[in-house]
């Protein structure tokens, strides 16, 4: 960080190009999300205007659920209706979103190798759950966690770290936010999760009624996936709490 700017370094120029394309795609197609101003584009760096704000807390979940519902609904209505969750999606400007299934299949296999899944039976159960969730309208995944939302003293919400975007089902990224809030701050009341999902569905349904149809069972399926996918980070990056042993409920 220098003065009122923040410079982020990358290993390759291709990573810079992808980050820039994703930044501008969100600016154009997911307008409810407010991003820091992108200034200088270097060969292996990007410089943004610094945003002074605090990471999201559990009490911010309702408004962030509305924000994500509007962002996903806007993106679907404007640019994602033709996207297939099982296939990488290339837009006319050259922007590419990885598919939903491929990266997560690879990540689940890695969790087995790392010891976060006990055996191949557990891996196959998680892969089956992943396949089960790969249906419905396409949204995007931007790794919604508390640190990626900055809330200013004036109450404005800025979204940061949008370098890597993939396709995902509606509410999958809301589930990531819920999962990482409980890993950061401890268990959330069940009523708070239900209220967040209802707020998300109501916001998304403004763009098409089909977008507001995520049920709690489906959100729990997403949470079960996130419990495994985030396992290596527990105890790191501010994730001080483990996953509550009674949750999520892996449904057959």
Total count of residues recorded for the chain: 252
pLDDT at 94: 76
Who's near 59: CB < 8 A, 6+ residues apart? none
Calpha distance 59→247 (Å, rounded): 20
pLDDT at 248: 56
Task: Enter the tokens of residue 162.
Answer: 């949008």
pLDDT at 23 over 60: yes
Calpha distance 65→83 (Å, rounded): 23
pLDDT at 35 over 50: yes
**pLDDT class of 1 with cuts at 50, 70, 90:** very low
Pick the closest to residue 5 from 47, 53, 55, 54 (CA basis).
47
Q: Are 122 and 109 in contact (CB under 8 A)?
A: no
Pick the closest to residue 29 from 151, 200, 207, 175 (CA basis).
207
Q: Which CATH class is domain 52-233?
A: alpha beta
pLDDT at 3 over 60: no
| Helix count and strand count (H, E) for the chain | 7, 10
Calpha distance 112→108 (Å, rounded): 7
Return the H-helix or E-strand segment holding 9. Answer: strand 5-9
Calpha distance 225→96 (Å, rounded): 24
Who's near 225: CB < 8 A, 6+ residues apart? 104, 126, 129, 130, 133, 175
| 159-186 average pLDDT score | 96
Calpha distance 73→214 (Å, rounded): 13
- Rounded to whole angstroms, the maximal C-alpha distance in the chain is 53
Calpha distance 196→185 (Å, rounded): 16
Render pLDDT for 191-229 as a digit per residue (tens, 0 to 9). Answer: 999 999 999 999 999 999 999 999 999 999 999 999 999
Calpha distance 238→191 (Å, rounded): 24
Q: C-alpha angle 103/108/113, rounded to 5°?
A: 125
Render pLDDT for 66-81 as a digit per residue (tens, 0 to 9). Answer: 999 999 999 999 889 9
Pick the closest to residue 129 from 93, 160, 100 (CA basis).
100
């Amino acid at each position: 960080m220098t003065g009122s700017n923040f410079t982020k370094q990358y290993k390759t120029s291709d990573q810079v190009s992808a980050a820039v394309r994703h930044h501008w795609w969100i600016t154009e197609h997911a307008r409810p999300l407010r991003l820091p101003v992108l200034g200088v584009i270097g060969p292996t760096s990007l410089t943004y205007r610094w945003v002074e704000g605090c990471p999201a807390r559990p009490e911010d979940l309702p408004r962030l659920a509305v924000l994500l519902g509007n962002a996903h609904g806007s993106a679907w209505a404007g640019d994602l209706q033709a996207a297939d969750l099982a296939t990488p999606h290339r837009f006319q400007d050259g922007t590419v979103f990885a598919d939903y299934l491929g990266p997560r299949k690879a990540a689940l296999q890695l969790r087995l190798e790392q010891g976060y899944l006990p055996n191949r039976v557990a891996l196959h159960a998680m892969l089956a759950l992943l396949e089960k969730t790969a249906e419905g309208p396409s949204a995007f995944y931007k790794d919604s966690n508390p640190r990626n939302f900055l809330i200013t003293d004036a109450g404005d919400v800025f979204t940061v770290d949008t370098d890597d975007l993939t396709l995902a089902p509606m509410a999958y990224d809301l589930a990531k936010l819920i999962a990482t809030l409980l890993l950061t701050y401890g268990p959330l009341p069940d009523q708070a999760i239900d209220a967040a999902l209802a707020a998300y569905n109501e916001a998304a349904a403004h763009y098409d009624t089909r977008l507001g149809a995520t049920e709690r069972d489906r959100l729990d399926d997403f949470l079960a996936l996130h419990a495994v996918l985030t396992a290596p980070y527990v105890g790191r990056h501010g994730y001080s709490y483990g996953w509550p042993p009674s949750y999520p409920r892996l449904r057959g």
